[in-house]
Amino acid sequence: MKFALAMLAGAATGVISSWGIGGGTLLVIYMSAIAKAPQQSAQGINLLYFLPTSAAALVSHIKNKLVEWRAVVPSVLAGVPAAVATSLLALRMETDALRRVFGWFVIAVGVSELFRRRTRP
């Protein structure tokens, strides 16, 4: 039963991720709240999960000419050091504190999405 639920959660978050909705966040919530995985493990598994799905999305976006190459270099130059620094910080944090920070982050993103103005493409 546990395995079937884990497979269902992985499949559902995979589909949601392919829609660009944020399935990885839901995967972390499932792993930490339902599967009782430590927060650091859940986030590490999510990062590993993200690599092949993002690679597939990148290939598709390049093929469809949807990548704005002028934005790639500054994003990589800022994103890589920030990811390394915050992952090192997360390793030093207590699990409960990390869960609270992650929870507030999810709430803040949700609230900002509710009130964000939509623009038509």
* pLDDT tens track for 35-86: 888 878 888 888 888 788 778 888 988 999 999 999 999 999 999 999 899 8
Token pair of 103 as six digits: 């929870």
Q: Give just the sign of the alpha carbon dihedral 39, 44, 47, 53.
A: negative
pTM (whole model) above 0.85: no
Residue 53: closest CA among 27, 76, 79 = 27
- Residues 34 and 17: their CA atoms lie apart, in Å, by 19
Phi-psi region of 17 (alpha: psi -120 to 50; beta: other; left: phi over 0): alpha
Look up tokens 């930490």; give the residue. Answer: 32
